């Protein structure tokens, strides 16, 4: 994807922010975490490897009709952010020191989490075609 339409990006960002804000009050995040969120958002919205685009294109039309691609992209980014935040906290909690944390091998964790998050979101969207309460919960967490 790389060059993102500004309107698409704005929709995805608003949805991502709405969803993440339900779990983590985004306006109360420390600046460093907000910068991390912005970096994650940029990386996933650009979709340089076209991972998201290919996954979206492979969805059945009945699943694509439940929300726009930009809305789903935002939902996925928020889901990835929450998973990454949880894992980062677990890593920080399990390490006795910052030195120990730096000595452990965490390369590739982000990529695996993003991939896992996308698969989970795709599965939920497909299921939402026949599960009205799930679809309603999607809409609820995506709203402001």
Mean pLDDT of 74-96: 81
Domain contains 1? no
Model confidence at 93: pLDDT above 90:
no
Q: What is the pLDDT of residues 29-47, one digit of tens each?
A: 888 888 888 989 999 999 9
What's the pLDDT at 103? 52
Pick from 68-77, 83-92, 94-103: least confident: 94-103
Provide the domain count of the chain: 1
CATH code of the domain covering residue 68: 1.10.3440.10
pTM, two decimal places: 0.86
HEC string of the chain equals CCCCCHHHHHHHHHHHHHHHHHHCCHHHCCHHHHHHHHHHHHHHHHCCCCHHHHHHHHCCHHHHCCCCHHHHHHHHHHHHHHHHHHHHHHHHHHCCCHHHHHHCCCCCHHHHHHHHHHHHHHHHHHHHCCCHHHHHHHHHHHCC
* Domain of 29, in residue numbers: 6-142
Domain contains 98? yes
Domain contains 15? yes
Domain contains 54? yes
């Amino acid at each position: 994807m790389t060059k993102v339409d500004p309107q698409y990006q704005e929709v995805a960002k608003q949805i991502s922010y709405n969803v993440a804000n339900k779990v983590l009050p985004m306006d109360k995040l420390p600046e460093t975490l907000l910068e991390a969120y912005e970096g994650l958002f940029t990386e996933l919205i650009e979709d340089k490897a076209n991972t998201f685009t290919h996954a979206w294109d492979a969805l059945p039309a009945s699943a694509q009709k439940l929300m726009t691609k930009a809305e789903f992209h935002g939902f996925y980014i928020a889901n990835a952010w929450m998973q990454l935040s949880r894992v980062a906290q677990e890593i920080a909690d399990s390490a006795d020191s910052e030195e120990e944390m730096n000595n452990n091998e965490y390369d590739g964790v982000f990529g695996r989490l993003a991939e896992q998050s996308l698969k989970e979101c795709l599965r939920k969207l497909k299921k939402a075609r026949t599960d009205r309460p799930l679809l309603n919960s999607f809409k609820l967490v995506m709203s402001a």
